[in-house]
Structure 1
Amino acid sequence: MGGEAAHIVDLAPSDHKTHRVTVPSPVMSVTSGPKFDPASRSSALLRRKPVSTMAAEVEHSSLRRSMGLLPLITLSVGATLGTGIFVVLGEAAPKAGPAVIVSFVLAALAALFSALSYAELAGAVPVSGSAYSYTYATLGELVGWVCGWCLLLEYGVSIAAVAVGWGGYLNSFLETAIGVRIPEALSAPPGDGGVVNLPAAVVVLLAMVVLLGGIRESAAITVITTLFKIAVLVFFVVVAVFAFNSKNLTPFAPMGVAGIATGASSVFFSFVGFDAASTAGEEARNPQRDLPRAIMISLGVVTLAYVLVALTAIGAAGVDTLSGSEASLATVLKLVTGAGWPSTVLAVGAVVAIASVVLTVLYGQTRILVSMSRDGLVPGVFSRVTARRRVPAANTIIIGCVVAVLAALVPLGQLAEATSIGTLVAFGLVNVGVLVLRRTQPELPRGFRTPLMPVTPLIGLALCVLLVFGLAPQTWLAFGAWTLVGLIVYFGYGMRRSRLNG
């Protein structure tokens, strides 16, 4: 084709027949085999995937563009507003005391500064790979791979953690509604006194089935469930505020600044998912305009909800009541009203809310793997899209089954902190990436520009570093092991099979 490299893409039009089209790639040369020159190893680590190449691939993506601004906002809110407030509040309250409210604000600030960087990159590089694609385009293949590997940890482990929290609220609902509980042996992982967390595995598999039905159907369900859980949290705040007692806020910070920082590191898990909108870059109708808006609006909604719920929950019942409860908000309502029906309503809302988080975060993880697979860094099975439903079916099934096993066997606390460290590393790299792209491609069209450059991304990076060092040593060990495995996979498979390896 006139000396230009060509790549093959699958198009699946409305007649459900798959066509193969040869498209010129204006920037990079793509080879079909895993040729690799060991002498070029060092340059391979720094090679970047051009933004223009990403744009060419998106132009001929086989994923369906069907999502407007509202579905993108609800996708992002739906992926964020769930276990973080329904369950993790009870896990973090003992670490900071009533000042866990400030911990939420500190975590929100870290998320906000990173969100501003996310918004610019989402408008400039509107592809489905989220932070992975952004860092691949700005910081090189090795850093892009590490970021993508962290995102797999963030998304996969957070799905499992959310699913574990779902099981706790399901038990709360069953107990208040019909007076029965799922036996602990079948509702808790081995580390928490059970054998297997069956409800957690079931909700992941149900989300997998919904995603296999298609993006339009999944988006419609996400909109409905997100609006419902916002209504349930408003109900909680209205009920709890009438029992508010300022004495429950003293002493406010018994563990001091260190406790607040530790609490912020723990509750940062609550903000995992606001970037989910950026994983829909290839399925948004107007990604340059809508992705930045969706990211910023969703973060504002989630932060407001978290602060109001945490303040009213602690003010109404105190930290001791929240600590260690598997369904902390339902416990608060039962205590302050003396009746069972408010906690039943809350439990129903939590069951729906947390299930929707599983759905939206599982969606995000599959789309990140689509991008990594299309780049050749993971096997091609993860980027195969079905002609009829236009979904990565094999990818969804594989990830759904793996995460279901993880949710069934690992305790919530360990999952939440492992999610936080993966997220903080990815966010930090995004803050660096937006600085690099501003310098290397200042002329690139952007649907949103991060304000106060370079101060904003530098503050975002500093906050990520602050929070990541507040995590427990065992979390660092687990993250180190995960990163080591990722590097082995990259050097043993991804580097040689990368599509940039021309």
Structure 2
Amino acid sequence: MAALGEQLFRRKPIVIQQKHHKGEELARNIGTFQLMMFGVGATVGTGIFFVLSESIPEAGPAVIISFIVAAICAGLSALCYAELASAIPVSGSTYSYTYHALGEIWAVIIAGCVLLEYGVAVSAVAVGWSGYFNELLENTLGFRLPDALSVSFIPGSDGAATGGIINLPAVVLVALCCLLLIRGVAESATVNTIMVLIKLGVLALFIVLGFTAFNADHFENFFAFGAAGISAAAGTIFFSFIGLDAVATAGEEVRNPQKALPRAIIGALIIVSTVYILVAIAGLAAEPVEFYSTEEASEAGLAQILENITGNPIWGTILAAGAVVSIFSVTLVTLYGQTRILFSISRDGLVPRKFLRVNAKTMTPIYNTVVVSTIVAIIAGFVPSDYLWDTVSIGTLMAFSVVALAVIVLRRTKPDLERPFRVPLYPVVPILTIAACVYILSGLAAITWVIFGTWIAIVLLYYWFYGRKHATLNDYTSAEQIAEPIRPEDET
């Protein structure tokens, strides 16, 4: 085994992206448009269907600026992702890029960030989906699931519990996504594309009807909550841009990845940013800031706004139905990204090889998918969404920062690496990406940092006692050896 210092900072050779990996391979079944819809599917819905009720009370009307700040930060990062994805088109996204550029210990830390980011994001979205599901039940069938089966357990400050026992709809949603992912990635991509188109149609309806009720008074005292409110809201909002990272996790299952990945990332960003900002403006135009602090806004806010605008519950029902269908795609793609990152970590030996097993018939990592889905379902069933949003943002922001740093490092250490897409205005763009992420991170609450720090400490302890001893790089001295096809005896 290598000396400790050498081991911690050793880098995975990039040559392996040009050959078959040692170990299981995934089938390349995804096209550019489907991949772009992966990005939109994982993003639009994650934020806009619920996050207005979280962010507007923080920033007031200036939440529009918060959306723009988050979009600019995500846009700068998207350019960095596009360069790395075109040069290193493998599963694992940020984790894999970090392993190649910065070394093993930083890859482990980023693995912790993205696993936290994806796992908590799926849970948060599933919890939010439950509210729209209940809204749809009430509008169509005239009843709601009782709180005991649709609201998470919440400990009260006086020791008494509020809320329910388990958020059952959230658990069922995760289970359905798990079954679809097990069936195959091509089927999952097709279902996701259909759901994304439904989602965009529903949000276009909201934008049009929202602007028909435009009230300029709702934008008075635009900066009443100050710069701190804008940065705090931007931090809350930022988790909704996780879809850009989800595109990169599909690097090994895309046809012609060196062209498809950059196009899909940038295309998804443009669609997502435009829709988010328009919906935020339409929502504020239709309802005052005070509305977004109410209970009805937090449970199914956009549907309630349409009911208030039109006086007819049918429009709210249509939006709730669209949300129920389309937010399924957010859960599906984010859960997919989580399993593919874990697949890559397992390939590198940092977690047990069971997570690397691919079913010969479906070409999907079934064991991996079941384990991830079970953990996510438990979190979604028992943890309220209020505890989840900012935890997702901090993982996303850390990942985006490291991607920008990886671009700078690889430009210096691997200047001859083939890069079908190159970040424009280098090094300004990656430096601005890091600065924007740090700015948003500064607005996150102290408790979020405590949770994050605790999680990373656990990850590092795991690496010390298991990961560093089982890393694939321990057994090989050259990139060519790492790239050799797996032998039957290696599976035992």
Give the ranges of 4+ consecutive aligned residues of structure 1 lying more than 3 Å apart after TM superposition: 57-61
- Cα offsets for 1:92-116 (capped at 9, x unmatched): 1100001111101001111111111
Structural mapping, 1:184-333, within 5 Å:
184-191=147-154, 193-324=163-294, 325=297, 326-333=299-306
- Aligned partner letter, 1:213: R
Query: How far apart in 2 are the matches of 1:272 and 1:279?
Result: 11
Structural mapping, 1:275-424, within 5 Å:
275-324=245-294, 325=297, 326-424=299-397
> Cα offset for 1:61?
5.3
Q: Check the 8 A contact 1:317/1:332 in 2, yes or no.
A: yes
From 84, 89, 112, give the equivalent of 2:75: 112
- Cα offsets for 1:86-141 (capped at 9, x unmatched): 00111111000011111010011111111111110000000011000000000000
Q: Name the SS for the 1:451 alignment partner.
A: coil
Query: How far apart in 1 are the matches of 2:224 and 2:268?
Result: 32
Q: Check the 8 A contact 1:86/1:328 in 2, yes or no.
A: yes
Query: How far apart in 1 are the matches of 2:241 and 2:247?
Result: 13
Q: Check the 8 A contact 1:205/1:404 in 2, yes or no.
A: yes
Q: State the match for 1:49 in structure 2.
A: 12
> Cα offset for 1:62?
2.3
Q: State the match for 2:62 in structure 1.
A: 99
Q: Check the 8 A contact 1:104/1:306 in 2, yes or no.
A: yes
> Cα offset for 1:322?
2.4
- Aligned partner letter, 1:242: T
From 159, 175, 190, give the equivalent of 2:138: 175
> Cα offset for 1:171?
0.8
- Cα offsets for 1:123-180 (capped at 9, x unmatched): 0000011000000000000001111110000000000000000001001111111221
Q: State the match for 2:33 in structure 1.
A: 70
Pair 1:437-2:410 in alignment: yes
- Aligned partner letter, 1:277: V
Q: Check the 8 A contact 2:36/2:264 in 1, yes or no.
A: yes
- Aligned partner letter, 1:208: C
- Aligned partner letter, 1:219: A
> Cα offset for 1:413?
1.8
- Aligned partner letter, 1:480: G
- Cα offsets for 1:31-90 (capped at 9, x unmatched): xxxxx35xx011101000011023323598521111111110001110111130000111
- Aligned partner letter, 1:46: F
Query: How far apart in 2 are the matches of 1:394 and 1:270?
Result: 28
* 57-66 or 87-96: bigger deviation: 57-66
Q: Check the 8 A contact 1:377/1:493 in 2, yes or no.
A: yes
Pair 1:79-2:42 in alignment: yes
Query: How far apart in 2 are the matches of 1:497 and 1:83?
Result: 36
Query: How far apart in 2 are the matches of 1:411 and 1:447?
Result: 43
TM-score, with length taken from structure 1? 0.91
* 55-64 or 166-175: bigger deviation: 55-64
Query: How far apart in 1 are the matches of 2:360 and 2:25?
Result: 8
Q: CA distance change for structure 1 residues 93 and 76 in 2, over 3 Å: closer, same or farther?
A: same
Q: Check the 8 A contact 1:198/1:408 in 2, yes or no.
A: yes
Q: Name the SS for the 1:390 alignment partner.
A: coil
Q: State the match for 2:88 in structure 1.
A: 125
* 466-475 or 126-135: bigger deviation: 466-475
Q: Check the 8 A contact 1:156/1:362 in 2, yes or no.
A: yes
Q: Check the 8 A contact 2:214/2:282 in 1, yes or no.
A: yes
Q: Check the 8 A contact 2:24/2:356 in 1, yes or no.
A: no
TM-score, with length taken from structure 2? 0.93
- Cα offsets for 1:393-439 (capped at 9, x unmatched): 00000000110000011111211110000111111111100100111
- Aligned partner letter, 1:207: C
Query: How far apart in 2 are the matches of 1:268 and 1:216?
Result: 29
- Cα offsets for 1:436-491 (capped at 9, x unmatched): 01111111111210011111000000111111121111111100110000001111
> Cα offset for 1:340?
0.3
> Cα offset for 1:323?
2.5
- Aligned partner letter, 1:434: V
Q: Name the SS for the 2:19 alignment partner.
A: helix
- Aligned partner letter, 1:132: Y
Q: Name the SS for the 1:83 alignment partner.
A: coil
Q: Check the 8 A contact 1:83/1:166 in 2, yes or no.
A: no
Query: How far apart in 1 are the matches of 2:436 and 2:406?
Result: 16
How many equivalent residue pairs?
465
Q: CA RMSD in A?
A: 1.1
Q: Name the SS for the 1:501 alignment partner.
A: helix
Query: How far apart in 2 are the matches of 1:302 and 1:61?
Result: 33
Structure 1: state its 5+ residue gaps: 1-35
Q: Name the SS for the 2:426 alignment partner.
A: coil
Q: State the match for 1:497 in structure 2.
A: 470
Q: CA distance change for structure 1 residues 113 and 41 in 2, over 3 Å: closer, same or farther?
A: same
Percent identity between matched residues is 49
- Cα offsets for 1:250-297 (capped at 9, x unmatched): 111211111111110111112122221111111001100000110011
> Cα offset for 1:321?
1.7
Q: Check the 8 A contact 2:98/2:402 in 1, yes or no.
A: yes
Higher relative CO (CA 8 A, sep ≥ 6), structure 1 or 2?
Answer: 2
Structural mapping, 1:135-174, within 5 Å:
135-174=98-137
Structural mapping, 1:2-13, within 5 Å:
none
Q: Check the 8 A contact 1:115/1:296 in 2, yes or no.
A: yes
Query: How far apart in 2 are the matches of 1:371 and 1:54?
Result: 12
- Aligned partner letter, 2:136: F
- Aligned partner letter, 1:166: W
- Aligned partner letter, 2:269: L
